[in-house]
Amino acid sequence: MGTSDTPGTVPDADSDAPGAPDAPGTPDVPGVPDVFDPRIYAAGIPHDRFRALRDHHPVARQEEPGVLGWPAGPGFWAVTRHADVVRVLKDAQGFSSHLGATQIRDPDPADLPFIRRMMLNQDPPHHGRLRRLVSRAFTPRRIDRFAATARERARRLLAAARESGGDEIDFVKAVTDDYALLNLTDLLGVPAADRGLLHTWTERVIAYQDPDEPPVLDAEGRPVNPRSPAMLAEMFDYARELAAHKRAHPADDIMTVLAGTELQDAELEMFFFLLTVAGNDTVRGAAPGGLLALAEHPREQRKLWDGEVGMDTAVDELLRRHPPVLSFRRTATRATELAGVPIAAGDKVVVFHASANHDERAFADPGRLDLARTPNPHVSFGDGPHVCLGAHFARLQLRILYEETRAVLPGLAPAGPPRRLVSNFINGIKSLPLRPAEPSAPRA
């Protein structure tokens, strides 16, 4: 496992092995590394591949062969440089979220109208109407009111983990999974008894490429798209009932605010789905990813524990090094050119946040974890009209978790390799064994 604080090359801590193993059965376009195969990411961010793409093929053609039971697709353009990623994300007129939605895999054409109802999958000006409505629920003041609850929760989870975990704690199982899920259900206003449901639904959608999550098959034995109406019916029924309950029993939560807006039921259900997925797995990925990076960089960790670097810059640097979202998809609305490469109308264009965050053209020494890094123009929360609506809530949760970890533990050291999600979308960690220990590095 790469554990150095050494400045210099990009592939260090986040990619446990130098470069990711070649995934079986996935033909590279000649000379162009494959960054599509979801299995690659089980070994960490493939920094070597991304660097080769940035340097030699910044807009690279990718094959999309059938993988893990999922059918082949038409292929896409991988955009890997920071400036190009930002350009695509900002240019919603040229690169649509609506035409083919926002996942690499093309949705079943029959499901497309349904999926397009989600705010995430809309373009201006329609997107703006929904965004304005739901932004009212996400005021910083409302979010900040959750700080005390999140802190209490972090304390409780960490204390229980210490008591039962002994020398080695799996932080995902003992702390971060519950922390993210319970914070989100508080914010949404989901009753405690129903929280397990939310967990099941989001796993189904996000972990569908991972072998630990058995696929749901249709009558012909083909995997069913987790974003199809059939798979989501239960969640949508629940959202409708919850909204009705909130209208009758208003509380200080997001569902109460949304239920009181002009959102139609179908829009509200879709929004509940969006928040359930966007607000859960992202923080579930970010929290262990940040703790792992700290454990692997004892010198930086010590600076944080000693108060030599600020928590706010640390949170953003940890998000840069471990972006919870690996990629998002757009569709070109017209013929254009990106980094000198002609793109045809209708082409699938995929931006790789994990690569943009490590672009030498935008970050000095990008492979180095520098908790005081300023400025830090990482794109972990995206950019342009769809920039993350929950960024303030996410940062708040991460800051509190790291503060509480620092308050109760002498430090963190790796106690074994992490297990990572098989996904080209979410940079998830399934288990993270860490030892509470003084950082071994000498004081600078």
Binding site for ligand HEM (CB under 6 A): 89, 97, 102, 119-120, 131, 184, 274-275, 278-279, 282-283, 286, 324-325, 328, 380-382, 386, 388-390, 393-394
- The label of the residue with tokens 């262990």 reads 288
> In this structure, how many other beta carbons lie within 10 angstroms of the beta carbon of residue 186?
17
Q: Pick between residue 129 and residue 299 the one whose CB is nearest to ligand HEM.
A: 129
Rounded to an integer, what distance in angstroms lies between the CA atom of residue 378 and that of residue 357? 5
State how far Cα 102 lies from the chain centre. Answer: 14
CA distances from 328 to 101, 146, 229, 350, 383 (A): 10, 29, 21, 6, 11
Q: Pick between residue 89 and residue 169 the one whose CB is nearest to ligand HEM.
A: 89
CB 46 within 8 A of CB 73: no
Q: Pick between residue 23 and residue 356 the one whose CB is nearest to ligand HEM.
A: 356
Q: How far is the CB of 127 from ligand HEM (least distance, A)?
A: 6
Q: How far is the CB of 30 from ligand HEM (least distance, A)?
A: 31
Q: How far is the CB of 146 from ligand HEM (least distance, A)?
A: 10
Rounded to an integer, what distance in angstroms lies between the CA atom of residue 234 and that of residue 399? 34
Rounded to an integer, what distance in angstroms lies between the CA atom of residue 75 and that of residue 67? 13
Q: How far is the CB of 97 from ligand HEM (least distance, A)?
A: 6
Q: Pick between residue 122 and residue 225 the one whose CB is nearest to ligand HEM.
A: 122
What count of residues does the chain have? 444
Q: How far is the CB of 183 from ligand HEM (least distance, A)?
A: 8
Q: How far is the CB of 92 from ligand HEM (least distance, A)?
A: 10
> In this structure, how many other beta carbons lie within 10 angstroms of the beta carbon of residue 266?
12
Alpha helices in 189-227 (DSSP H): 195-206
Rounded to an integer, what distance in angstroms lies between the CA atom of residue 337 and that of residue 179? 43
Q: Pick between residue 146 and residue 208 the one whose CB is nearest to ligand HEM.
A: 146
In the complex, residue closest to ligand HEM by CB: 390
Q: How far is the CB of 115 from ligand HEM (least distance, A)?
A: 13
Q: How many CA atoms lie within 13 A of 110 on its CB side?
A: 5
Q: Pick between residue 223 and residue 384 the one whose CB is nearest to ligand HEM.
A: 384
Which has the closest alpha carbon to 25: 38, 13, 14?
38
Q: Pick between residue 26 and residue 280 the one whose CB is nearest to ligand HEM.
A: 280
Which has the closest alpha carbon to 348: 39, 57, 90, 96?
96
